């Protein structure tokens, strides 16, 4: 959308675009291990943990929405730096940048490890990382408006894959469920953090404040709801298709689930689904890189944006080549996801705290002026 004078600088992200964008940037690669994670940490009927996490994520989104409304559409940098000097915030900004670049590179590498295992076991990971990096560069050069448009088109290719689950309905059996809820789980708190990582990515939306139309916050809830429906549907199907022990002992139960999909017009559905899922991984990766670029740009406004794009992609490229195994990536992602969860909650709370201080200051000024 453009302003009345046609100035592209006044372009705003449409709510529908944002709903699709939120869905596309949430860390969907977790979906492939989500049934095992819920079974391991929560036990029987662990799929219900997704509903609990959904409520927590909505509270998190509510904090983001409140930050936007109380801040009247100002950027979070403008809100924070009205009270705190920019140089004081540099360590915090740098921490967020490191976490987001790390998340982007590890999510990308996790996908590449699985792809190599299935299709190209002898091909060096270097070429896959280079391919993702070049695609990210092309998207980042266009800015957030072009990224949103491109991701809206790309994500359409992933949506039809969910309908393949309906071919498994004849094999679905409610007898595989038990009347016990959360029995045999190991650590619900760690499990909640793991399930929460499937919804990460939406915290970058705090950088959208100056770039959106009014009444856009509903888009956050809609996009998150759509992700939840897919997570819940896929995980529920796993619990009704496999036994509890089968889910626990399968590294990628969702991929195994799609292996049983028999479609007359499609051979090896699991391979097609995983290849198409590259668009979802690319979406998450690009938005994390974009978020890091925005923070760098705020820290040093005299440096050209293209420099930060190249610098961030180079750093992400190097980080993605460091892990030597899926286990190394899993450990890194667990640590980074915990940090990203802290950012997802801490950043809006910090912004709301700054807004509260500003509101109190303005109220005191009005009272002083009124007394005079």
Q: What is the pLDDT of residues 265-275, one digit of tens each?
A: 666 777 777 88
Question: SS3 breakdown of the chain: % helix, strand, coil, rounded to 5?
Answer: 80, 0, 20
Average confidence score pLDDT of the chain: 87
Quick check: 347 and 203 in contact, CB under 8 A? yes
Q: What is the pLDDT of residue 180?
A: 81
Pick the more confident residue, 264 or 125: 125
Give dist(CA 368, CA 325) in Å, integer.
Answer: 64
* pLDDT exceeds 70 at position 3: no
Give dist(CA 140, CA 136) in Å, integer.
Answer: 6
* pLDDT exceeds 60 at position 320: yes
Q: Read off the pTM.
A: 0.91
Q: What is the pLDDT of residue 111?
A: 92
The whole-number average pLDDT for the span 134-162 is 85
Residue 2 dihedral angles phi and psi, to the nearest 5°: -120, 165
Q: Two tokens at 217?
A: 């916050």
Q: What is the pLDDT of residue 173?
A: 83
Cα-to-chain-centroid distance, residue 71? 24
Q: Percent of the chain at pLDDT above 90?
A: 47
Q: Two tokens at 338?
A: 């915990």
DSSP-derived letter for residue 201 is T
- Which CATH code fits 27-350? 1.20.1740.10
- Rg of the chain's alpha carbons, rounded to an integer? 22
CA distances 11 to 38, 145, 202, 305, Å, are 41, 8, 21, 18
Helix (H, G, I), strand (E, B) or coil at 6: coil
């Amino acid at each position: 959308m453009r302003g009345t004078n046609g100035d592209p600088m006044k372009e705003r992200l449409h709510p529908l675009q944002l709903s699709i964008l939120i869905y596309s940037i949430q860390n969907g690669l977790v979906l492939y291990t989500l049934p095992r994670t819920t079974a391991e940490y929560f036990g029987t009927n662990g799929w219900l943990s997704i509903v609990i996490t959904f409520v927590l994520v909505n509270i998190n989104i509510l904090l983001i929405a409140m930050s936007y409304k109380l801040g009247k559409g100002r950027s979070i940098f403008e809100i924070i730096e009205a009270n705190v000097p920019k140089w004081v915030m540099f360590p915090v900004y740098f921490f967020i940048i490191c976490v987001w670049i790390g998340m982007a590179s590890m999510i990308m590498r996790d996908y590449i490890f699985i792809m190599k295992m299935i299709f190209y076991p002898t091909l060096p990971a270097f070429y896959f990382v280079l391919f993702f990096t070049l695609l990210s560069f092309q998207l980042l050069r266009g800015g957030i408006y072009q990224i949103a448009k491109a991701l809206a088109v790309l994500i359409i290719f992933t949506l039809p894959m969910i309908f393949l689950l309906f071919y498994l309905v004849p094999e679905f059996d409610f007898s595989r469920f038990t009347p016990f809820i959360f029995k045999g789980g190991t650590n619900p708190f760690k499990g909640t953090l793991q399930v929460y990582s499937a919804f990460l990515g939406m915290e970058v939306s705090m950088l959208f404040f100056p770039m959106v139309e009014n009444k856009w916050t509903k888009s956050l809830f809609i996009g998150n709801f759509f992700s939840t429906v897919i997570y819940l549907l896929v995980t529920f199907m796993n619990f009704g298709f496999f036994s509890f022990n089968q889910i626990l002992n399968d590294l990628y139960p969702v991929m195994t689930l799609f292996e049983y999909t028999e479609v007359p017009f499609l051979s090896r559905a699991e391979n097609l689904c995983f290849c198409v899922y590259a668009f979802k991984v690319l979406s998450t990766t690009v938005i994390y890189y974009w978020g890091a670029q925005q923070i760098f740009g705020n820290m040093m406004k005299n440096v050209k944006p293209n420099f930060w794009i190249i610098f961030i992609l180079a750093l992400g490229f190097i980080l993605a080549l460091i892990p030597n195994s899926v286990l190394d990536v899993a450990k890194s992602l667990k640590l980074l996801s915990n940090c990203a969860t802290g950012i997802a909650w801490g950043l809006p709370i910090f912004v709301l705290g700054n807004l509260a201080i500003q509101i109190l200051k303005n109220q005191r000024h009005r009272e002083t002026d009124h007394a005079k």
